[in-house]
Amino acid sequence: MTLTCKQLLQKHHEAWHAATVHPFLEHCKLGIIQPQQFNTWLSQDYLFVVEFTRMLARVLIAAPVHHFELLLAGLSAIKDELNWFKAKASERQISLDVPQQPTCTEYCQYMYSLGTQPYAVQATALWAIELAYNQGWQLPGAMPEPYAEFASRWGNPEFTEYVKLLEQQADEALSTASPEIEQQAEAAFLQVARLEKDFWQMAFNATQ
């Protein structure tokens, strides 16, 4: 049987739950997240997105031409996202010129390493990364300001549809993958799940 993204979610439900349901997000919903926690997430996530942009460019190199349109749309959206992060940091009077924390560094290094993997593995990892944010910001439900804007950015219907299309492209790539490449894609999914969980925890652990 060909591996699919849906099968990965079903098989590794607990790992995915840990990646998308976290006290950091719940505290945002309750309005009790501490400024240092949220500011740590914001600055480190900006650094993550910088490297994610490079990862997406490498995915484009490996992708078949008929996948270009969606991936280019994703790259175009990231330009706006990077500027948005800068605006939010300015509003909160925090600097984005900060060192990567070890958890962020590990995630960024992993994204870089994906550039040597087969396209099916890269496509699976890309879908998982985007789905983690899509679901992570949706699952808690409505959030109070100022966190509602953040939840809307990754939980809105347009982004949800983009993630569904990424899933279709990953499934297409997996449909012709060898068993070895399927195993690599499954390992990538689990690695993304762990790194997402750790990233939330990194921000949640931040103290003054």
- Predicted confidence (pLDDT) per residue in 84-114, tens digit: 999 999 999 999 999 999 999 999 999 999 9
In 10 A of CB 40, how many CB atoms? 22
Sign of CA dihedral 42, 46, 51, 53: positive
The DSSP 8-state label assigned to residue 116 in this structure reads: G
Q: Both ends of the chain: CA-CA distance in Å?
A: 51
Task: Give me the CATH code for the 34-204 domain, please.
Answer: 1.20.910.10
* Tens-digit pLDDT profile for residues 137-190: 998 888 999 999 999 999 999 999 999 999 999 999 999 999 999 999 999 999
How far lies 158's CA from each of 93, 126, 133, in Å? 30, 17, 13
d(CA 10, CA 103): 26
Mean pLDDT throughout 125-142? 95
